[in-house]
Structures are given as C-alpha cells and as structure tokens.
Chain A
Amino acid sequence: MAAPVVVDRVARRYGSVEALSDVSFRIERGGITGLLGPNGAGKTSLFDLLAGLAQPSSGAISLFGEPLFGRPYPRRRVGVVLQREFIPDQITVREYAQLFAAVHGVAGGAPRIVAQARLEQREKVGVEQLSGGEAQRLFVAASLVHAPELLLLDEPSAGLDPQSKRELGDILLRVAEATSVLIATHDISEAERLCDSCLFLVGGRLRASGATSELLATAGARDLEEAFFHYCGARVNAQGDAT
C-alpha cells in the first residue's frame, strides 16, 4: 500500500525568498509525525503544500501514491486543521457540526462531531464563546467527520492551557490508531509526548527525520528538546526564531 505522503526534493520560493529548499521525506501509514522547527523554519509553507493550498516551485509531492498537482486534491481522504481556524459569528456548536458534516457529505455526521469533541452539553453555545481547548477539539472533530486517512494539523495546541493540550493530545493519539497524522508544531514537549517520528526543519531545510527514538539515539540526547538543539541548535536564537 502506498505511503500517505511522499515529498521529493521540494522547494518553495516567494520572490527571492526561499522558504523551502530540497525537502524530501515520507510519512508511513498510521502514527503521528511531528514537523518541528523554530519560528520561520518553513513549517507553514510545507504544511500549505501538503494541504494543497500552494504549489511547490520545484520538486514533487504525492499523496497515497498519486502525484498531488495536475489533478484534483484528494480532499475526501485528507482532514486539515489550520493554525488559525475560521471561527464563524453567530453559529452554535451544533450548526458548525452540521455545516462540516454537510460539506463532507456525511449523513448523521453532526452528532458524531459533537460527541467526539465532547461538547454534547455545549451544543447550543456559540462557537465564538467556546474556550480555546473546546474550540480546538471541535475543529479537530469536524476535520475527522469523513474518516480521513491523513490528518494535517498546523500548531493545533498553540495558546492552549496544559489541561486542554493534554485532552487534545489524547484525542490525536486515539485518531492515530487508524489515521496518519502530521502535526506542525514548535512545542517540543507536545511532540515528545505524541510523535512516533519527527521532521526537523530549519531555515527551509530538513535537518533530520526519522523515528523519534532513533533521532534521540543518534543525537545522544535524553529528550527531544536536547535532540532539537542538537540538530537545529546554532540556527535558533533565544526567542526560538530561525537565524
């Protein structure tokens, strides 16, 4: 069975700025892959390419063994949670769930979204009134309603409190039993807890990739933070920005 994601020597330029350069990796079926890197590393650029929101300047990407560009994006096989999710005005949790179930063409999907987000008691509450953690659970549940084979999440836990982060992580661990999950994040502790494999991206280049345990062993690191600085160290300043 073809790997869900294969990225081959991909580059992405914005004018004279090279956001990604010669990036190659593959994601196997099942499990959670962390796309790690400092601010400005190119995580969102790579995420947008994988989500079909932009095209590479060169190189190739294939999803489920099919080239990504020059044919319709396999939207029914992929779920996407953006870094800044759209928060509609004036609609309730139930209506939000109904909207996404309808868009994905899943009959009876709305109650499933609400249940998976554990918002049964908050169905009539406006989405904009949810806490950060509740909203994020709703967004993830909505992106899973069509049972995608690949789930892409860009900074899913940004701005969440530790309890909400843990709850969201638990959901993703359950999802990853049947779905390949890619999380773009710069939250090392979250990645350490969730990710079976990691991609370290710095300055638009992939510095290291592989199973988390192998990356730790190769770097001689005790935890992922040490490994992160081992692979990315001199290229990250005190604010976590790529230099």
Chain B
Amino acid sequence: MKALWALARLRIFDVLRSTSASLAFLGLPVIILLVLTLVFAKGHPFEERSLTLVGSAPALERAAERVSGRAGLRVERASALGEARNQLHARGTTGLLYVGDGGELTLELGSKEELWGRGLIGLLPQARLLPIELGSMGYVQFLFPGLLCSSVMFAGMFGMGYAMARYRRNQFLKKLATLPVSRGTFVLAQIIGRGSLALGQIVLLLAAGWLVVGLRPSFPGMAAATLVGTLGLFVFSGIGFVLAALIETEAVVADVISGLTLPFTLFSGVFFPLDALPAWLCSACRWLPSTLMLDAVRATLLYDTSLLTLGAKLGGLLLWGACVFGLSVKLFRWHQ
C-alpha cells in the first residue's frame, strides 16, 4: 500500500512540480473556455448571415440604409464583382447585392439560401433574386487558406522557438559561438531550412486542394499567397525566437506554442469571418499577425485580389516582423 501511494505521489509531483506541465494540465482548459466564451459571445457565427454590397451606386446606398442594423445580418462592402463572387463561392459571404448590367438591383446567393433571400427581398422590393449553384466544397475552400496559414504559423513558431531552445540546451549554440559563422547567418539558415519545408507542405496542400476540394487559384494568386506566406513565416519565426529568449527549456516552449495556437486560430478567422466576433474583439484581432497573413492569403488565393491593394496588411506584417526580431535580438541569450 505504501509503495502504491509513493508511486502515485511521484506521478502527481511529476506534473505539479513542473510549471509548464501544471499550467498545461490545470490552466489550459480554463483558457480554452475563456477563449471560446469570447469567440461565441454573440452566438455561433453561422447563426448570422452577411450581405456584401458591391460598388457604390445610389440604389445600393438606399438598400444599405434599409437592411443595416437588422438582427442576424452583417453588411459588408466590396468594390469588384469578380472578387465578391469568389468570396460568395468560398462562403466568405451569404449573398451579394449589386446593380446589374440592366441597371436593376440584384441579390445573388446560393440556392440553399433562397428562402432567406426571399425574406430579404421583402425589404428590397425593387431587387431581383438570383439564386445560383455554389458547389458543395465552398466552406472547405474557405477553410483552406486557414489551414495553410496554420502550417506556416506552426512552422515558424515551432521551427524557430523549439529548435533554438533545443540548440541552446544541447550546446549547439555554444559550439556555434566558437565557429567563424555569424549569428545572422545561422538565424537566416534556420528560416531558409524551415521555410523550404513549409514550402513543400504548401505545395502538397495546394495539390490536395486542387484534386480534392476543387480549388482553382490563378497562378498570380498562388504566387502572391506564397509571398505572403513567406512574410508570415518570417514573422512567426521571430515570435518563436522571442519565446526561446524568454523560456529556458524546449518542453515549455512547445507547451506555450500549443497554448498560443488555439487563440491564434480562433481569433484570426480560420473558421469564420472575423466580423462575426463582437466589434471590439474584431477590431483588436484585425492586427494580429495571423489575421493579417490569413486575410492576405485568403484574398489572393481565393478572391484573386491584387497584392497591390493589400499594402496595409503587408505593411502590418513587416512591422510585426521588425518588432519581434528586434525584441529577440535584444533578449536572446546564445548560451548559458
């Protein structure tokens, strides 16, 4: 009996005497609950529908006045019909309202939303309803850029954070300090190494997306998304570097990265458009590096948006990169 208690106590101490293990075991479920409470404070995002107004014709402005503020309806704006249509096909929005070639107000939506559309037409009697077939994989296509960005996020944070903590513990960084190679060269080599792997992962994902999900991004869209992904990898590598600077052991770094992944995923619009979040939270989340990356990847890959119109998001990512790398250079200790 004594042996049984002694062994059980050993197992309990194993968790409780490790800060990371006890935080992960006791704290993580509470953190997850808090995150989910924030995310779903307004109900499930799919309880709400969104209407995208395309263009700025006076008829549209009048329509906007009629539908704005209705419970369960979010009004968004788009400038180009092509992009907005791509958004509709990827389930980024429920319906489009635009002035058609014949000058009539048109409400275009998926055939499954026809009933909802008929209700909306009641508010917009001059509008014409245009139900279309959207295909069954639209939501999967919406998720696709999120999956891709999660890979980049994980590759950056884990690839740099965990590796640097491990290299510090196994003396590689100390050894490096005795060799004629600069730290900058080493860090760049890490990013290139991990980036190559991430690129391989992205190519595989794109191929799977093409074959299984029916994703058909344009070549410029893929190139632009790859460029944004590379920038994202740089930013998340920097975040990993900061974590390795603040945390001694690789096990704790891994736990913290796991803990960060959930909020980054939920608060970045991987599963649903961010507009579905409470307004204050949505504004704050817009500037997360994961959101900036995902918005830009989704826009280029799914909606065929030009990279030139995404300057603010790319600038934001660059700023994040500069900040986190600046901080890590200041904080990181290369060897004990």
Binding site for B on A (CB under 8 A): 51-53, 75-76, 78, 80, 82, 84-88, 100, 103-105, 146
Contacts and interface: CB of A to CB of B under 8 A. Distances in A.
Contacts of B172: 86, 88
B174 A103 contact: no
Given A82-B171, A82-B174, A84-B171, A75 B335 contact: no
Secondary structure dominating the interface of A: loop
Nearest to A77: B180
A2 B307 CA distance: 60
B178 A76 contact: no
B170 A86 contact: yes
Interface string B157-176: 00000000001001110110
A104 B171 contact: no
B334 to A, nearest CB: 9
B217 to A, nearest CB: 35
A87 B170 CA distance: 8
30 contacts: A51-B178, A52-B177, A52-B178, A53-B177, A53-B178, A53-B335, A75-B178, A75-B179, A75-B180, A76-B180, A78-B178, A80-B175, A80-B178, A82-B174, A82-B175, A85-B175, A86-B167, A86-B170, A86-B172, A86-B174, A86-B175, A87-B170, A88-B172, A100-B179, A103-B180, A103-B181, A104-B179, A104-B180, A105-B180, A146-B180
A53 B174 contact: yes
B180 A85 contact: no
A80 B175 CA distance: 8
A50 B179 CA distance: 14
Given A52-B177, A82-B175, 5 more contacts: A51-B178, A53-B174, A82-B171, A82-B174, A84-B171
B171 A85 contact: yes
A165 to B, nearest CB: 22
A229 B178 CA distance: 33
A105 B172 CA distance: 19
Contacts of B167: 86
A159 to B, nearest CB: 15
Interface of B: 167, 170-172, 174-175, 177-181, 335
A238 to B, nearest CB: 29
Contacts of B181: 103
Contacts of B175: 80, 82, 85-86
Contacts of A52: 177-178
Interface of B is mostly: loop
Nearest to A100: B179
A-B interface, 9 closest residue pairs, ranked by CB to CB distance from nearest? A80-B178, A75-B180, A86-B172, A86-B175, A86-B171, A103-B179, A84-B171, A103-B181, A76-B180
A84 B168 CA distance: 12
A71 to B, nearest CB: 14
Nearest to A54: B335
A87 to B, nearest CB: 7
B171 to A, nearest CB: 5
Nearest to A152: B178
Contacts of A103: 179-181
Contacts of B171: 82, 84-86
A51 B178 CA distance: 7
A52 B178 CA distance: 7
A186 B335 CA distance: 24
Nearest to A79: B178
A87 B180 CA distance: 19
A104 B170 CA distance: 21
Contacts of B177: 52-53
Contacts of B335: 53
Contacts of A51: 178
A17 to B, nearest CB: 15
Nearest to B179: A103
A44 to B, nearest CB: 11
A146 B180 CA distance: 11
B247 to A, nearest CB: 20
Nearest to B181: A103
B335 to A, nearest CB: 7
B279 to A, nearest CB: 48
Contacts of B180: 75-76, 103-105, 146
Nearest to A139: B175
Nearest to B334: A53
Contacts of B174: 53, 82, 86
Contacts of A82: 171, 174-175, 178
Contacts of A84: 171
A149 to B, nearest CB: 14
B177 to A, nearest CB: 6
A75 B178 CA distance: 7
A81 to B, nearest CB: 9
A53 to B, nearest CB: 6
Contacts of A86: 167, 170-172, 174-175
A105 B179 CA distance: 11
Nearest to B166: A89
A182 to B, nearest CB: 13
A94 to B, nearest CB: 19
A104 B174 CA distance: 16
A52 B181 CA distance: 14
